[in-house]
Chain A
Amino acid sequence: MVEKSDVRVVRCGGSKINLRPPIISTDSRFVLCASGDSVKVYSTRTEEWLHSLQGHTNQVTGIALNPANHLQVYSCSADGTVKLWDFIDGILIKTFIIGYRLFAIYVSEKHDGIVFLHIALDTDSKNECFQLVAVHLPKSAEQEVEAKELSAVSSRISPNPSCTAFGREGQYIAFARHLQLNVYFFRKQKTYSFSLKATDKKGAKNAFTCIACHPADDCIATGHEDGKIRLWRNFIHTKEYTYSTQHWHHNAVNTLCFTPEGTNLLSGGIESVLVQWQYGAGNRKEFLPRLGGSILHVSTSSDGQLFCTSHSDNKITVIESSFKVCGVIQGLVKGDAVFTDLMIDPRSKALVLNGKPGHLQFYSLLRDKHLYNLDIVQQEYIYEAGLDQFEVVKAAFDIKGYWLATVEERGQKSSDLEFVLKLWAYDERTQSFVLNTTITAAHTDRIISMCFSSSEETTMLVTTAEDGQFKAWCQGADADTQQDQSFWSCDFVGSYHNLTPTNCSFSADSSLLAVSFQEVITIWSPDTWELLTTLCQPPGVVRDLCFGQLSCSKYLIATTTRNLLCCWNLLTCALEWSTSVEVSKLQPDPLSENVAAFSYQSKHTDLFVFKPNEPRPLFTHKNVCSEKIHRAVFVPREELLNNCDESSQWLNRSQLYFLTQNMDLLTFSTATEEDRMLSSSKRLVIDDSIAVTPFYLLLGKHRQQQQKLNTPSHPAADKPQQPQGSVTITELLHTPAHVLPAASVLCSMFVSSLLISNTGFPFPFFSPEMEMESSEQEMNSEKEEDQQELRAQGSVDEVTPKLSKAQERELKRVRKTDFSWMAGLIDSKP
């Protein structure tokens, strides 16, 4: 974005996977879903993310399997292109440039070479007019083709893509908008319309929310806003159409889907209950309750054995046809808003924020994987629209990750606010947090902020609330009661001129506590609870404040609502410097002196990174994004980068993640980091469930071992990492003893190989015979075990092409492994 600097903003993991219905591949082994500007491929059996199809430059808005080739998938995106992929190998086959913003894609077996797309006609956001068009995809050998043959089907369609569906054998297409259902017959080239009244005497809301067509019967199922499901029949004759109504959902039906044979109809709504209606059997139905967030989409595999539901909490559930959940693919839960700050769990280094209702989620940024949910509220969540329920609004970790404080709140809208402060202790045995203390009336009004003291010895929590008080909570402050169990209790209550405290922050060594009361910042000593001094720099209410870290711990930085960023020196209690900048978020880096300030001005956000003791910012990045930023966090890196470039030095120790108002999680990446990523992605080998050829079976197992040795970049972040031995030594130990030379010969080389830590290619010369020999040995040793597996796997149809491929891969691997010790052997032998 900025040419001179090599630091750029990148969208990092955790994008939505529930935007569009997921697709199950024909062989039921993969689930594909649109996620951000890529399509992600997951395994249905292991729920692992295999790879993603990257190439779109904007949000992917629809995916559909190519009816002509079940190994290919079409994807359409808001960047105006339709791409055809081979999703198993992740290869882009073709790009069709349409030129309009695309919102959904539909395909049918009957219409070969034609895709149906939702496009937006007018770009003005007020009355977006959507159109359904049929696009004839030109057949040409080129990679990029412009598809110009657009023919409009209808312009009366709803922006909701689930309101459009293909009918039996692609003979007609049904689409609904508001209160009107339209059916377009391709043969007759005619549209029939059926409309409902907006409401009836009983107060039903009849607007259409989704549509599904029976695969073998002339029947259209429609879902409505009030939870009714109508089955339309006989619509071929406009006048004599009939419909039957079924009602179970108490709120809008979000999705409808017929099983491939048409025996069952699946429906889901906000209640998070998957309902299976037997087609033609009236009211007989089955339920699968408590699936998670409200169900947004349901899809089935082509053989009807697997169902897939995607939920509002960014989750895809894989369900067997016997109504048993067999897999959950969980993305970063973002909901409508993130109430808690972004936090880093000091133990697992996972990103922590509120996830599904009433839970805190732990999300590994490194692996882009959801680790676990911590149930904070511990209540049954009722899926009902407009119901006010407990939500985690604040959370804080202490510095060692031993304590977690949470605040849950209910009644944000109504007048009677209920909130609970809870303190959780980390339990080493169960490796999770256990509830220690529940405080029901911590304050008389809403808690605004809280923080833990950062000292090692005593843990103290400070909460500030709208009732004009801040309270310090200590563990076991009451010595009289139950000495054996250490509960938390109030230690001190402070206030300042009855003003409302807003922010609180402990200094790096916890010797000072700063609490801001509107325009005034008060500095307290946590040992004696004495008010030491007050700092004030009017005009403007203090919006955010933080202490400097490490060598700059004598500085206190605060921002006000009147565009002022101030820095006080606490030794002199005087203003060190101040500058006029509108800062929405201040974020200090715990590992360095740097402080990041996000400033929102004239509809875009700028980032400044500075040290409190230096007047000049270290790094400036204009136009980071176009929304305001309220949440940001510095995540410590696993391994330090060594950027020498001045502009990217601040990213060496930790990485800055931030969340925009549109709930996009963004970060900064540097050139060196990208290089590293690129190299690591090259090494990635496709999951073992992909190519099951006999040769693969021979080698796959070995390669897996090899992968474990070679790539320590995938260790489980929450498990202790085993010390990795040198590759040379493991190689030496894994070679069968009978092919090794005498120990006396090996000894000196072995010792010298220990001295050389370089695992590259110090010896460019290799005798090819040697290579072949060693790989053959390995193959022999593996063969016996694998023969059984070989027999178990039946189909061997595509042997020849795959064989060569796998062989090639194996060769590549052999070339990569370190044979430096062998080379030494060759040297010494003649």
Chain B
Amino acid sequence: MASFKPTKVQFLPKLGEKVTEETLYWKNYKSPVQIKEFGAITKIDFSPLPPHNYAVTASTRIHIYGPHSQEPIRSFTRFRDTAYGGRFRGDGKLLVAGSEEGLIRLFDISGRVALRQFKGHSKAVHMTSFLSDGFRVVSGSDDLSCRVWDVPSAVELSSLTEHTDYIRALAPSKLNPDLFVTGSYDHTVKVFDMRSGSSVMTMQHGHPVECVLLYPSEALLVSTGGRYVKVWDLLKGGQELVSLKNHHKTVTCACLSSVGNKLLTGSLDRHVKVYNSSYKVVHNFDCDASILSMAIAPDDEALAVGMTNGVLSVRHRRHQKDKEMLTSRRRRGPSYQVFVKGKNFVPRQDDFLVSKPVKQYLRKYDKQLKSFEVSKALDTALQTWTRTSKPDVTVVVIIELNRRGTLKNALAGRNEESLTKILNFLLKHIFDPRFSRPLLMVGDIVLDLYQQVFHQSPVVERLLQRLMEVLGREAELQQELLQVLGILDTLFTSLTPRKEALAAPPVAQESQLQAA
């Protein structure tokens, strides 16, 4: 007749994060390498040439690190005051940097002394960059001016003073040597054309602009400032495409990954967020301190993040090879051939095949459930290995016992040792929303059964006290959550248009979470 149906262990997805291709991609970084610098790291720039060294500007120095070295390959220390905005030229041979005193220095990568010094700014120069022809340097300064310098003659070509506040963001166009974009604390982003000598486009960011960034196609422009990240469509005359508010502190830096042009933003709130092409956050990196600068290597090989406490944290990508190394190291089991004789035998056409009936193998707890040995089944499910590595199996057995109406019988008549096991399991998992319902029931039954004898065992008593504390805390938390939910509900109802009160999906989701 019908055979015994084994208990089904249901796969319950954890609430919250959804696993997508992109999260998998961004999760595939090794744990970060931390390098201590002398001061807050204000700028990181990757060399466009293959070894992809990167220049880190911090305090009065600029260090250049190799892709895998933790010690600087080279450092430029001839700054009298704080250095700012060290950037490579397109061929990776020259480096330009501003400084607090208003001087702009140009270095050869292999040299030590500045090749050129551009004097003219009266205040600190936070941003410098080469234009894409490589012969001119553009700089943005706190003296509200933006100047273009000629590299061979070291003279100022033009000075643009359209901004009314500090200029703290600058991005040259890679396709046109005469175009660059500046962002300023006067809340505007301006596109300058050297041919006309003035700004050709102005966009209102609405907050002091910390960083500007051009997409490789140069049709889209990203500006960050305040808590906002805004994307502008330059081909539509600077129309705002999207405004993102995912950070809860000022967004200080942004960069684009080279694979798929995904936008990454770093903020003072210590998070780096990764957006997908529809500008939804797909991944989040946490850091130890507020982030000031960030850069990603070509091919996304490494992600370097500079923070206010002077720590540079570099994450390298994990490669398939590393994994293979790990797996190949694992010992191989005994070869299967030894045990199965004639497994390669192919039956001939007129052979009559007698197939062996497939035997149904049951797990130990299933066997015990089949023979109605409820206490034993619970013991099996509470074995150390199952309990720790597969708590869902334990919970499924508990649910099954409850369904059979024999949970009380299974829990009754236990000694101190096994009761400790159960209580420890409860302590560990009672707040897991997947398990809390059956486990609360177990807790109730245990209390009912053993309340007369608890005081005889100090161990059990202590565990119970802990359980009570933890439960109390959880109850408080739930209450607070409910209050928040109530506040949110009123907010949502006031937000929805008057037409008909529709329950907005986010409310429903939250209530689901709550129910779970």
The interface of chain A, by Cβ under 8 A from chain B, is 288-292, 325, 378-380, 382, 384, 387-390, 410, 416, 438, 440-441, 444, 469, 478, 480-481, 490, 492-497, 529, 531
Contact = CB atoms under 8 A, between A and B. Distances in A.
B505 A493 contact: yes
A380 B516 CA distance: 26
A469 B508 contact: yes
Given A469-B508, A480-B18, A493-B503, A387 B405 contact: yes
Contacts of A481: 18-20
A379 B5 contact: yes
Contacts of A493: 503, 505, 508
The listed residue with most A CB atoms (<10 A of its CB), out of B6, B8, B502, is B502
A290 B503 contact: no
A290 B3 contact: yes
B91 interface: no
B354 interface: no
Nearest to A471: B508
The listed residue with most B CB atoms (<10 A of its CB), out of A380, A478, A494, is A380
A390 B5 CA distance: 14
Interface in B348-385: 369-370
A289 B499 CA distance: 62
10 contacts: A288-B1, A289-B1, A290-B3, A379-B7, A380-B5, A389-B403, A493-B505, A495-B501, A497-B501, A531-B500
B12 A440 contact: yes
B227 to A, nearest CB: 25
Contacts of B400: 379
B388 interface: no
User: Binding site of A, secondary structure by majority: helix, strand, loop or mixed?
Assistant: loop
A827 B511 CA distance: 87
A290 B1 contact: yes
B1 A291 contact: yes
A255 B499 CA distance: 66
Contacts of B511: 444
B8 A387 contact: no
Contact of B4 (A290, A480, A495, A529): A290
B346 interface: no
A378 B8 contact: yes
Interface in B482-516: 499-503, 505, 508, 511-512, 515-516
B415 interface: no
A276 B4 CA distance: 21
Interface in B1-40: 1-8, 10, 12, 18-20
B404 interface: yes
Contacts of B19: 481
A759 to B, nearest CB: 44
Contacts of B502: 494-495, 529, 531
Contacts of A469: 503, 508
B20 A480 contact: yes
A495 B20 CA distance: 31
A289 B3 CA distance: 9
Contacts of B437: 416
**Which A-B residue pairs are the 5 nearest by beta carbons?**
A493-B508, A380-B5, A531-B500, A480-B20, A290-B1
Contact of B5 (A378, A384, A490): A378
Given A380-B370, A495-B503, 12 more contacts: A291-B1, A292-B2, A382-B404, A384-B405, A438-B10, A441-B516, A480-B18, A490-B508, A493-B508, A494-B502, A497-B501, A531-B499
B484 to A, nearest CB: 18
A380 B18 contact: no
User: Binding site of B, secondary structure by majority: helix, strand, loop or mixed?
Assistant: loop
A378 B6 CA distance: 9
The listed residue with most A CB atoms (<10 A of its CB), out of B403, B405, B501, B516, is B403
Contacts of A288: 1
Contacts of A531: 499-500, 502
A306 to B, nearest CB: 16
Interface in B326-348: none
A481 B282 CA distance: 12
A529 B403 CA distance: 39
A416 B8 CA distance: 21
A410 B503 contact: no
A387 to B, nearest CB: 5
B1 A387 contact: no
Interface string B203-234: 00000000000000000000000000000000
Contacts of B18: 478, 480-481
Contacts of B6: 380
A264 B440 CA distance: 49
Nearest to A444: B515
Nearest to B434: A440
Contacts of A497: 501
A325 B1 CA distance: 7
The listed residue with most A CB atoms (<10 A of its CB), out of B1, B20, B500, B501, is B1
A739 B264 CA distance: 90
A47 to B, nearest CB: 15
Contacts of A380: 4-7, 369-370
A355 to B, nearest CB: 14
Contact of B8 (A379, A389, A490, A494): A379
Contacts of B369: 380
A490 B6 CA distance: 30
Nearest to A387: B405
A495 B500 CA distance: 10
A384 B374 CA distance: 15
A382 B1 CA distance: 15
A490 B507 CA distance: 13
A478 B505 CA distance: 14
Contacts of B370: 380
Interface in B394-421: 400, 403-405
Contacts of B8: 378-379
A600 B400 CA distance: 43
A324 to B, nearest CB: 9
A360 B512 CA distance: 29
Nearest to B507: A493
B25 to A, nearest CB: 13
A228 B372 CA distance: 20
Contact of A441 (B10, B20, B501, B515): B515
A492 B505 contact: yes
Nearest to A317: B1
A495 B493 CA distance: 13
A493 B508 CA distance: 7
A444 to B, nearest CB: 5
B12 to A, nearest CB: 7
Contacts of B505: 492-493
A480 B403 CA distance: 36
A497 B1 CA distance: 52
The listed residue with most B CB atoms (<10 A of its CB), out of A289, A291, A325, is A289
A380 B370 CA distance: 9
A417 to B, nearest CB: 12
Nearest to B502: A494
B11 to A, nearest CB: 9
B369 to A, nearest CB: 8
A746 B511 CA distance: 81
A401 to B, nearest CB: 26
Contacts of B500: 496, 531
Contacts of A490: 508
Contacts of B503: 469, 493-495
A733 B478 CA distance: 82
A494 B507 CA distance: 11
A441 B404 contact: no
A529 B503 CA distance: 11
Nearest to A373: B2
A334 B400 CA distance: 26
A325 B3 CA distance: 13
A803 to B, nearest CB: 40
Nearest to A358: B5
B112 to A, nearest CB: 51
Nearest to A288: B1
